[in-house]
Amino acid sequence: MPEMPMSPAKPSTSRLDHQWLAWTPGRAGLVLLAILLWSSLTACGVRPGADGNAQEVWRFAIEETQGSVQDAYAQRFKELVEERTDGAVRVKVYPYGTLGTSDQITEQLHAGTIQFAMASPGHLGKIIPEVQVFLLHFIFSDREEVDNRVLRNPELLATFDRLYEEKGLKLLTFFSEGWMVWTANQPIRRPEDFQGVKFRTMTSPLLLAAYDAYGASPTPLPYSEVYSGLQLSMIDGQVNPVFAIEEMSFYEVSETLIFPNHALFITSAVTGEEFFDGLSPERQEMVQGVVADLQDEIFEVQRKFNRERLETIQERNPDVRTVRLTEDERERFRQASLPVRETFVEAAGREGEGVLDLILEAVQEEEQAPTATPSP
């Protein structure tokens, strides 16, 4: 992937220093960084607690900044783990920018330098093609609570448990961070409006097919490079949930927000398979208990964040335009998106076809039984 130049300084309300994040170290810099990171991380694996007893440190890297949905998840995970281990385990949360891009975070999980991470299909799809099912458009219900139940489908989770395990990862859970929203310089109401639009996507290959299908020019980039890409007009638009558009200040440089409700931003929380297997059965159960307890909580958190942050954007920049697609307009995009399902099956094979069918069936079932299915 071509590297983008450093962004110029900007007067920003963002919680991120985009300039720092867009910095790309040279080879020697990378080696030095790796050594520094390794020594600082290994040095704090076990440390004395307040009572003098050894305290284990679990490192949790997220793909978003402080104040994000993933941060809210990781902070609550920290709180509950520390509480349930009576302080024997301390969880240290690493926000985006401290340990590198999403791909680098996954590598560090493999290497065992961190123990927990968020791994979004939008990037993880390069390693696990089947997980790109979550990147397909118009496969979920328009009702978020239905989708929340689909994401807990035991068969779906069992399949992905195995697929993640084959890559040395232990899947803890999937959850939604809200509806994906397009930002662009002009309203996009029909696939034709995407013609010639350089549209940033996450880095999983299926996303290229997804936006190609609408006639856009998809441009995969790491999260940290999106702001400068928009600012320097290297890209004309991007797609993310509202809370992310606010926290990354994308609304400062891409002022039309388009709500097509075509896809959710779904992420997975993961741990290293080796690390997890090495835990005692009690600790494993404790981790899974925490994850189960957070499922409903994070659903409400993302809803709240997405609602509130839209107000923040509108207060900060009254020039921001919001466009909500009509059902007819959505239908045109839905039709245009259908061939991408075949592209997905070609890339992800029989297993991929299986998870797609499973999701489509589960959505239908859950739509008919809106309140019936209890959490597993």
**Which stretches of the chain bind ligand 6CS, using CB under 6 A?**
63-64, 102, 120, 122-123, 177, 202, 223, 240-241, 244, 265
**Please, is 247 exposed, middle or buried when counting C-beta atoms within 10 Å of its C-beta (0-12, 13-18, 19+)?**
buried
CB of 201 to ligand 6CS, least distance (A): 8
Closest residue to ligand 6CS, judged by C-beta, is 223
Amino acid identity, position 88: A
Is 89 or 197 the residue whose CB approaches ligand 6CS more closely? Answer: 197
CB of 203 to ligand 6CS, least distance (A): 8
The conformation of residue 262, written as its DSSP 8-state character, comes to -
311-319 LR contacts (CB < 8 Å, sep 24+): 312/246, 313/242, 313/245, 313/246, 313/251, 313/257, 316/13, 316/251, 317/251, 317/252, 317/255, 319/255
Residue 115, CA atoms < 13 Å, CB-side half-sphere: 23
Is 89 or 248 the residue whose CB approaches ligand 6CS more closely? Answer: 248
Place of tokens 């900060």: 316
The conformation of residue 319, written as its DSSP 8-state character, comes to T
Is residue 195 classed as helix, strand or coil in its secondary structure? coil
CB of 224 to ligand 6CS, least distance (A): 9
Between helices 154-165 and 339-368, what is the axis angle to 10°? 140
Sorted by sequence, the CB contacts under 8 Å of residue 194 that are 6+ apart come out as 188, 211, 214, 215, 216
CB of 63 to ligand 6CS, least distance (A): 4
CB of 305 to ligand 6CS, least distance (A): 11
Is 239 or 294 the residue whose CB approaches ligand 6CS more closely? Answer: 239
Residues in the chain: 376
Is 82 or 107 the residue whose CB approaches ligand 6CS more closely? Answer: 107
CB of 150 to ligand 6CS, least distance (A): 20
Q: Give, rounded to a whole angstrom, the gap between the first and last alpha carbons of the chain.
A: 41
Are the C-beta atoms of residues 270 and 169 closer than 8 Å to each other? yes
Is 89 or 270 the residue whose CB approaches ligand 6CS more closely? Answer: 270
CB of 118 to ligand 6CS, least distance (A): 7
Is 89 or 135 the residue whose CB approaches ligand 6CS more closely? Answer: 135
Is 309 or 341 the residue whose CB approaches ligand 6CS more closely? Answer: 309
